[in-house]
Amino acid sequence: MHAIKKIIITGGHPAPALAIIDQLKKDHPPVEIVFVGRKYNNAQEKSESFEYQEINKRSIQFINLDAGRVTRVFSLQSLLNILRIPFGFVHALVILMQQKPNVILTFGGYLSLPMAFIGYLFGIPVYIHEQTIRPGSANKIISYLAKKIFISFEQSIKFFPSDKSILTGNPVRTSIFEDNHGTIVRDESVPCIYITGGSLGSHAINILFENIVPKLLEKYCIVHQTGNVEAYGDFNLLNDLKKSLPSNLQKRYILKTHISNEDIGAVYKAADLVVGRSGANTCFELVALHKPALLIPLPWSAYDEQQKQAALLSSFGAAELFDQYDSSMDLLELIYKMMDNIKVYEEAYQKISGIYKSDAVSRIITEIFS
């Protein structure tokens, strides 16, 4: 194995990155880890990102990369983002000159491209991991510079150079399997629904539930992860709704901006049904845990990747799909239907084989070190 003293981990998908980081700290404690990412949820506000909070908890150096990107929606802000793209490459140059890592491991997204490109020019080995069925533009570009490409789905290999691609599966954080009881106390007398919009939360999902939460709480306990994007103020809005409810229903409604690593295992264990987006990391966690899911794909995800991933789980009968533009009442009826037949969805996971690979983390680390 190579003597790797320092590794930079970067990219826009924190969940698999955290899985790798935790294993590195356990198996290779002398290796210094530096995380290059996004400190704030967006450029307009100063609410701390999920990855920044989690990296800080692990006492790992976090460097905020100021990089621009191309978005699919045209606005003044999108124009400013494009103009910031060159500054991202200059900032990446400064970071790499200061840090001098032996290896760069990227997890896709606009933050990955400047780090991988400048790293390649410096002769630093670049490794990438692709979570989705169809890769985004950044990873497709980086693949030509990368030493090795780790993919989660077999269907992804056609988008990359085959001689460098390895089907490892998607790293899943071990904390989802650990029920440490955490800090969340729920009403155990009724079934539980976990609503999540991913690390940023989902304004569209939060609004869908605003009208039907009181009805759901009559039959179920709800753990609702709202995100903390200040522009929407969803947590405060839903917290005001909670305060307006009778005290017995208030106790059944657990609101969090983020679910911490310490709590996520307990939340998943408690959840009879998970409602959320269908990003690759969410889908792999659902498969690993055999959790029935009501998936609401992000309509503008790159190459419709979330729709494809949700359709895959739905094709096995383990999940249902819902369009975020449909009505709250339609969502309520679908939840009732799923909760009444929850065992059918649980048993459907027996048909899914080969998607989740429990050794994904160890395989990626072995490839990097060997």
Binding site members for UDP-N-acetyl-alpha-D-glucosamine: 10-12, 173, 199, 306
- The span from the CA of 184 to the CA of 177, in Å, is 16
Answer yes or no: are the C-beta atoms of 200 and 50 closer than 8 Å: yes
Q: State the alpha helices, DSSP H only, in 229-301.
A: 234-243, 247-250, 261-270, 280-289
- The span from the CA of 368 to the CA of 147, in Å, is 9
Give 245's Cβ-side CA count (13 Å radius). Answer: 22
CA distances from residue 128 to 15, 69, 104, 143, 187 in whole angstroms, order as listed: 15, 19, 8, 7, 42
**Residue positions in the annotated binding site?**
10-12, 173, 199, 306
- The span from the CA of 346 to the CA of 329, in Å, is 24
- The span from the CA of 131 to the CA of 152, in Å, is 5
Answer yes or no: are the C-beta atoms of 356 and 169 closer than 8 Å: yes
